[in-house]
Amino acid sequence: MPKEVKFTEEEIKKLNSIQDGYVQMRGDFGQLHMSRIRVNTQLDDLNKLEEDLQKSFEKLQTDERSFLNETTEKYGQGTLNPETGVFISTEENTPDTPDTPDTSK
């Protein structure tokens, strides 16, 4: 017949401490997993926002190129002062500007 041995109070405390440690670990791993899910969701949201901003940026660049092409075709090459709205042509004759007769003679 097997011999029965009773654990000491200190051994029981040690066993309970180990078991409590495993329960705590399961809880901690569960919290870690839930935190990881939240972080991944936030990362997905940030990636979507970045993608939307990238598309908006590309559209803005396309709009800018279109505007520059239109104004260059209309006024020719030159410089615009955005504060005053004054355009100074670097070409002799711009497409939509009639030749100005030379009155210095």
Q: What's the CA dihedral at 55, 59, 65, 66 to 10 degrees?
A: 150
The verdict on residue 84 lying in a domain is yes
Note whether residue 103 is domain-resident: no
Binning pLDDT at 50, 70 and 90, where does residue 13 land?
very high
pLDDT tens string 74-99: 999 999 899 999 999 998 764 555 54
Residue 101 has what pLDDT? Answer: 47
Scanning the structure block, which residue is given the tokens 């401490």? 17
pLDDT tens readout for residues 41-63: 999 999 999 999 999 999 999 99
35 assigned to some structural domain: yes
Range of the domain at 71: 9-89
Tell me, yes or no, whether 96 lies in a domain. no
Number of domains, the chain:
1
Residue where the block lists tokens 């260059």: 72
Q: Does residue 3 lie within any of the structural domains?
A: no
Q: Which residue type occupies 71?
A: T
